[in-house]
């Protein structure tokens, strides 16, 4: 059975979309990761235009992060001041990202930028996952412990920055420029690659800002919710690239998949699965990198500019 996507202007097999959405949702529930970094490249693989894949994925990320942030708010694990500063940076970042996306699109380099972005991004995420879980599987001390042991307070240069702000919940007194620039980078990623950016933000909040771990996830989800919402709104207004039919299909099945995954995660051995996910993510990165390096089967391509 096929369904016509009004904004992507293409007809897709509804079962392919549903199984992709369900599978990515399952993985995101199982591993507690946002599914955007898998979903966006998959959508591009099945022929959805990159702009529509990114815009739609941003809208879908709103759905998956909203329930998360509400759960964390109930447990009072959200630093609203920090969230607001991160979000402000995120809005600026995603604004710049949407603009940059358009410039690159009319120059014909958007596909390359997205591919390159994913090669780096998936390469980093995959390596981290392996680094974190392989020692556990091989019965050694996890790297994460070694990293955390360094703790905050060592980065003296950061404490010389101006515009210091007090963040009560995080019990921090740091320059607002730090969370602003973290938020900016994440916003850029959201607008250009359709990912939530949690993978970048969470370690930055722990190791760079020195935030207490229990408020990190909730606060990052707060930022992701607002920044992806802002990015989706901008993509819809500027590029008309949010496909609501595709977004609804993905989020309905994705939400179910994520809940099933979350339930499964308590029953299966996490570390072996993390190794497998890490390997899978690395494989996608290598595959994308390979496509960039080998001679293309057809050097010519259509559109991407004013013509299409």
Partner 1 sequence: MRRGIVAFAAVLGLATAHAEAQDVPLVADLANHLVAITTGFTGTDVLLFGATDGPGDIVVVVRGPAKDEVVRRKGRFGPIWANAEAVTFRDVPSYYRVASNRPLQEFAPEMLLERRQIGVDTIRMSNVGETIPLDQAAAFREALLRLRTADNLYDQGVGDIALMSNRLFRTALHFPANVPTGTYMVEVYLFREGQITSAEIVPLNISKIGISAEIFDFAHGRFAFFYGLMAVLLAGGAGWVAGAVFRRV
CB 191 within 8 A of CB 234: yes
* Alpha carbons 175 and 155: distance in angstroms, whole number: 13
Size of the site for partner 1 (CB under 8 A): 59
- Asked if 24 and 258 touch (Cβ cutoff 8 Å), the reply is no
Span near partner 1 by CB under 8 A; candidates 6-14, 35-43, 134-142, 189-197: 6-14
- Closest to partner 1 by CB, 134 vs 238, is 238
| Residue whose CB is less far from partner 1, 58 or 178 | 58
Q: Find the part of the chain contacting partner 1 (CB under 8 A) among 135-143, 203-211, 212-220, 297-305.
A: 297-305
Return the range that interacts with partner 1 (CB under 8 A); candidates 130-138, 154-162, 208-216, 293-301.
293-301
Q: Considering beta carbons, is residue 54 or 62 the nearer one to partner 1?
A: 62
How many Cβ atoms are within 10 Å of 301's Cβ, its own excluded? 9
- Residue 259 interacting with partner 1 (CB under 8 A): yes
**Do the Cβ atoms of 65 and 252 come closer than 8 Å?**
no
Asked if 8 and 48 count as a contact pair (C-beta separation under 8 A), the reply is yes
Torsion of CA 116, 96, 47, 301, to 10 degrees: -70
Which 207-226 positions form the footprint of partner 1 (CB under 8 A)? 225
Report 14-73 residues binding partner 1 (CB under 8 A).
Answer: 59-60, 62-68, 70-71
Greatest distance between any 2 Cα atoms in the chain: 61
Radius of gyration (C-alpha) of the chain in whole angstroms: 19
Helix (H, G, I), strand (E, B) or coil at 168: coil
Binding mask 228-247 for partner 1 (x = CB under 8 A): -x--xxxxxx--x-x-xx-x
* Interaction site with partner 1 (CB under 8 A): 1-4, 6-7, 9-11, 59-60, 62-68, 70-71, 108-109, 112, 116, 225, 229, 232-237, 240, 242, 244-245, 247-248, 251-252, 255-256, 259, 292-296, 298-308
């Amino acid at each position: 059975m096929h369904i016509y996507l009004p904004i992507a202007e293409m007809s897709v097999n509804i079962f392919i979309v549903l199984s992709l959405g369900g599978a990515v949702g399952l993985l995101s529930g199982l591993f507690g990761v946002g599914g955007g970094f898998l979903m966006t490249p998959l959508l591009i693989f099945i022929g959805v235009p990159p702009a529509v894949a990114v815009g739609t994925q941003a809208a879908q990320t709103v759905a998956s992060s909203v329930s998360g942030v509400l759960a964390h708010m109930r447990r009072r694990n959200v630093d609203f001041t920090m969230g607001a500063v991160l979000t402000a940076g995120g809005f600026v970042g995603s604004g710049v990202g949407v603009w940059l996306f358009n410039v690159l699109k009319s120059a014909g380099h958007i596909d390359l930028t997205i591919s390159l972005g994913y090669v780096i991004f998936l390469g980093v995420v995959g390596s981290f996952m392996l680094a974190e879980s392989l020692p556990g599987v091989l019965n050694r001390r996890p790297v994460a412990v070694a990293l955390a042991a360094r703790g905050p307070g060592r980065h003296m240069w950061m404490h010389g920055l101006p515009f210091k702000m007090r963040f009560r919940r995080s019990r921090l007194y740091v320059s607002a420029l730090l969370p602003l620039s973290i938020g900016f980078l994440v916003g850029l990623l959201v607008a250009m690659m359709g990912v939530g950016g949690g993978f970048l933000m969470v370690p930055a909040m722990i190791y760079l800002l020195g935030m207490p771990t229990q408020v990190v996830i909730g606060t990052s989800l707060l930022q992701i919710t607002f920044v992806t919402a802002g990015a989706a709104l901008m993509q819809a207004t500027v590029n008309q690239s949010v496909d609501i039919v595709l977004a609804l299909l993905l989020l309905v099945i994705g939400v179910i998949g994520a809940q099933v995954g979350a339930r499964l995660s308590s029953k299966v051995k996490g570390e072996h699965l993390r190794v497998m996910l890490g390997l899978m993510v690395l494989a996608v990165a290598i595959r994308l990198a390979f496509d960039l390096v080998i001679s293309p089967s057809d050097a010519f391509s259509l559109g991407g500019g004013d013509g299409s």
